[in-house]
Homo-oligomer: A and B are copies of this chain.
Amino acid sequence: MGKGTITKRQKELLSIIYNYIKNSGYPPTFEEMKEDLNVSSNQSIIDLLVKLEKQDFIKRNESSARSINILPLGYKVLNKLPLIPFLGATSAGAPIEAIEISGEWQSVSSEVARLKDEVFLLKISGDSMINAGIDDGDMVLVKSQKEFFSGDVVLANVKDESTVKRFISDDNPPYVYLKPENPDPKHKVILFEDGMRLVGKVISVFKNGQWKSVK
Residues of chain A having any CB pair with chain B under 8 Å: 18, 21-22, 24-27, 29, 61, 64-70, 72, 75, 78, 80-84, 86-99, 102, 108-123, 137, 139, 141, 144, 155, 157, 162, 197, 199, 203-204, 206, 209-211, 213
Q: A120: which B residues are within 8 A, CB to CB?
A: 83, 87, 92-94
Contact A91 B123 (CB under 8 A): yes
Contact B66 A94 (CB under 8 A): no
Q: A82: which B residues are within 8 A, CB to CB?
A: 157, 197, 199
Contact B69 A66 (CB under 8 A): no
26 A–B contacts, CB within 8 A, in A order: A22-B117, A25-B69, A26-B26, A26-B66, A70-B110, A70-B113, A80-B116, A80-B117, A81-B113, A84-B116, A90-B97, A90-B139, A91-B95, A91-B123, A92-B96, A92-B119, A92-B120, A92-B122, A93-B96, A93-B121, A95-B121, A95-B141, A95-B204, A98-B211, A108-B115, A108-B119
Q: A86: which B residues are within 8 A, CB to CB?
A: 122, 162
Chain B proximity of A120: nearest CB distance (Å) = 3
Q: Which residue of B lies closest to A72 (CB)?
A: B113
CA distance A123 to B91 in the complex (A): 7
Chain B proximity of A125: nearest CB distance (Å) = 9
Given A72-B109, A98-B211, 10 more contacts at CB 8 Å?
A25-B69, A75-B116, A80-B117, A82-B157, A83-B120, A87-B97, A87-B120, A87-B122, A92-B119, A115-B115
